[in-house]
Structures are given as C-alpha cells and as structure tokens.
Amino acid sequence: MTNILQLSIHEASELIKEKKLSPVDLVESLIERIEETNPLINAYITVREKEELLEEARQCELEILNGQYKGPLHGIPISIKDMIFTKDIKTTMGSAVYKDYVPTEDAIVVQRLKQAGAIIVGKVNTHEFAYGPTGDESHFGPVRNPHDLNKISGGSSSGSAASISSFTSFGSIGTDTGGSIRIPASFCGVVGMKPTYGKVSREGVYALSWNLDHIGPITRTVKDNILMYNALVESEEIHIGDYVKELNNLKIAIPQNYFFDDLDEDVRVSVNGVVNLLKEIGATVEIIKIPLLDEVTEHQKTILRTEAYANNRENFERDASLFGVEVRERLLTGIEVKGHEYALALKRKNELTKQCNALFDHFDVFITPTIPILPPNIKERTVRTDTENKDAGHIRWTILKNTSPFNYLGLPAISIPCGVSTTGLPIGLQIISKSNNEQVIYETALALEEKLNIETTKWEIGRKIVK
C-alpha cells in the first residue's frame, strides 16, 4: 500500500470522509517523518507536542464519526510559516528578535484553517523577517532543498515548500512580497499560489511590506492548492468539478522580453517544451512585449525597502545586533530612499496595474519561467546573469526577477512544476492572469499539470535524503 504520507490532500480527505483513514494514523505517520527528516532539512522551527497533536486528531476523528464532517481539510495536517501568528505557539519570524515570542491570538488565516478542521502541526522556517528569496538566512539555520541538501530551498517561505516536498506536511501557508511563495515552490518542485493583492486576509501576519505582502497556499498538487485557497478566502470559491479547461481554447501570451532573458539552459528547454505542447494542442499562443517592466521592478524595490525598514525600525534602533548581517544590510537601504521616490512608486502602482490588466482583454493568461536559474548552493550570493558570462550579479535580484513585478501589480500568479533539470532539480512555470481571475489560473494550471505529468515529489526523492 502507498504510504499514507504520499497521499494528496484530496485523496486523504476522501478516505477520511469515507472513514477509511483515521486522522490519528495520519498525524502519527507525519510526526515520525518529521523526526526522521527535519534534522537534515530544517523545515520546522517548532513542532507541537505529540500528545497534543494526537488528541486533536482523535477529536477530528470523533467529529467525523458523529457526522460532523467539516470539509476536505478536516483532519489534514498543515504547517504554517513562522511569520503568521499562532495562538500559544511560538512565532519567531526566523529572527533572534522574536525567538521566544508567543502570540495570544491566531491570524485570520489560521482561524479559517481551524474552522475547516485542519490540524496545525507546527511553524516552518523562514528567511529572517521574510526579507530574502534564498531561505538560507534564518536565526534557526538554513532550510535545505529536499532534492539536494547542498542547494537552497528558495525563500522566504522556505520551510513551507520544503515541508511539502519532504512529505512532512500536506499543505502550508506562506507569505509572498516579491516571490516568496512561488520561488520556493519552484525550487522544491511543488505548487505555490499568490492570490490577488488583498484577496486573503493579512491580519495577524507580521508585515514586511503593507503594499506588497500577499498570503497564499503551498501544496503538492494544484487541486490541493484549490482546496486550501477555498478555505482561506471569504467571498469566493474555486469550483473544481469540471475543472480542466480545454487548453485548445486558451489564449496565452508569452512575454518574451524581460522574463526570458538570461535563462539557465535547462529552464529554457523545459519552458519552451510547455509552449510547444500548448501550440500542438491548439492553444492560441502569442509572443508579446510588456512595456515598463523596468519601471515596475524599480518601484517594487522602492516600496519594499521603505516599508521593510518602517516595519522593523523600532526593533532595529533598539538593538540592530539581533538582526542577521544580510537582513541588517538590506534594512539600511530603506533609509536611503527619498520621500518623492516612495510617493511616485505608490502613485504609479494603480496606473501600471490598470495598464497590465488591460492586456488581459486579449489573453487568458501569461506564462513565464518562475525563476531564470536552478537552485544555487546554500550561501551562494553571486550568479552569472548573461550568456557570455561577463557580469556577475547578486543572486537575490536574479531569483526575484520574474516574480516581483506581480507583487507590485498585485496580480494573481501560480508556480507549478514543469520539468526537471539534467541534475535532477525542479523547474517551475509561472502562470499569471488579471486581478481576481484565480479561477482561470487554476483551470490552466490543472490542465497543464495533467498534460505534463511532472513528478517532482516522488516518495523516493523525499526519502533519498535519509541515509
């Protein structure tokens, strides 16, 4: 029999609903798996007490046996990024500043998961204060990629994606300010969704940037992602009964400028393979140019630097030595931003978002590589960024390049696995649509997932790290 930890949320929930699988067995297996793998991967900072988790699982089982089934997340173990407040569970922000902080209230997203019957297993690691895309700068140590322990998991929702990829969680909630859900999802070979700005409540989430932060789900499959998304939003539900959109009816734009510059060859081959598949199926695929992307990127950086410093200023001025060196240096750049630059970045945000949304009058979705490169080594900080290898740039901006524009624009975007490199590392595809058009993104992602059948989370991959 397949190990129960290999089941998707959708599969496990059906068995639980039919009383063929006990949440107690699910939790027991998961705890064993965490004990086995977490010393190597370092996905979790805090795991709740075993007896406490088992008691919660027994309560779920009793409710289901008594006909009080709450839905597809009932009895499903979920991990939470350690930027999101959890009542009576330590919430550290990956920093020495908050290493012993215990909130007195749950964030709204945690409340909604509990209302859906999910079991909160623990808190997963994050790049310190979510201020970095590598996931290897945390007070609690780097998160290692389950596919290769020498590689970064991506950040800042590093522990979220690694916990899914290593079979130590069925789903997770991450935050995304410049790509922090989609980047680790791509590097770890899982599915990560950044909904439209404001679609999921940020109340009870430690802010990095008020105008750029998004909250969203990370899972192993697109269908699982939809199930979690539906639990997080208040006024909308994605229907997955007839979910597979006919790809030959899709109008797809490939923004060739900017997003396809300086790609790793394996990334180029995988993404071009998807584009060719779509053409073969009969989808309308058109190469376009999105204007003003350089301006978008600069405004995103301006807002991020300013608001990151503002959100951390009080702690920073009290004792900057508690911050890691890398995050400390980044925070200081926020002091350098001029007031008129910040004001212009905010003013242009609505104007540029409106212009980009107008492009979707002619297309259903845009498709791009999620990240131009493969996962680098832990602590690696420079990367060759042009085909002639003349210039080396900071790895941060290379990793963020394709994802950060859609934080500034607030558009929904998902990363799904689309291939595996010659060295066995996952490659992600980013699908973007206009504001509040998550339904079309999910339909497209489901259809592509089915056609591509990319397996980046095989049990053997998760197991190979354990010697």
pLDDT of 326-344, one tens digit each? Answer: 999 999 999 999 999 999 9
Round to whole Å and give the CA distance between 200 and 406. 16
Is 314 within 8 Å of 279 (Cβ atoms)?
no
| Structure confidence by residue, pLDDT tens digits, 255-308 | 988 999 989 999 999 999 999 999 998 999 999 999 899 999 999 999 999 999
pLDDT of 154 above 60: yes
Is 184 within 8 Å of 157 (Cβ atoms)?
yes
| Structure confidence by residue, pLDDT tens digits, 378-421 | 999 987 544 444 445 789 999 999 999 999 999 999 999 999 99
Beta bridge mates, 218: 172, 192
Round to whole Å and give the CA distance between 354 and 352. 5
Give the rounded percent of residues in the chain with a pLDDT score beyond 90. Answer: 88
**Residues with active-site annotation:** 81, 156, 180
pLDDT at position 328 is 97
pLDDT of 461 above 80: no
Per CATH, the architecture of 22-467 is what?
A: Alpha-Beta Complex (3.90)
pLDDT of 4 above 90: yes
- The 3-class secondary structure across the chain, one letter per residue, is CCCHHHCCHHHHHHHHHCCCCCHHHHHHHHHHHHHHHHHHHCCEEEECCHHHHHHHHHHHHHHHHCCCCCCCCCCCEEEEECCECECCECCCCCCHHHCCCCCCCCCHHHHHHHHCCCEEEEEECCCHHHCCCCCCCCCCCCCEECCEEEEECCCCCHHHHHHHHCCCCCEEEEEECCCCCHHHHHHHCCEEEECCCCCCCCCCECCCCCCCCEEEEEECCHHHHHHHHHHHCCCCCCCCCCCCCCHHHCEEEEEHHHHCCCCCHHHHHHHHHHHHHHHHHCCEEEEECCCCHHHHHHHHHHHHHHHHHHHHHHHHHHCHHHCCHHHHHHHHHHHHCCHHHHHHHHHHHHHHHHHHHHHCCCCCEEEEECCCCCCCECCCCEEECCCCCCCEEEHHHHHHCCCCHHHHCCCCEEEEEEEECCCCCEEEEEEECCCCCHHHHHHHHHHHHHHHCCCCCCHHHHHCCCC
pLDDT, mean of residues 441-466: 77
Round to whole Å and give the CA distance between 83 and 188. 20
pLDDT of 224 above 80: yes
pLDDT at position 248 is 83
pLDDT of 241 above 70: no
pLDDT at position 249 is 85
| Structure confidence by residue, pLDDT tens digits, 351-374 | 999 999 999 999 999 999 999 999
Write b or e for each residue in 430-458: b if 16 or more Cβ atoms lie within 10 A of its Cβ, otherwise e. bbbbbbbbbbbbbbbbbbbbeebebebbe
Mean pLDDT estimate for the chain: 93
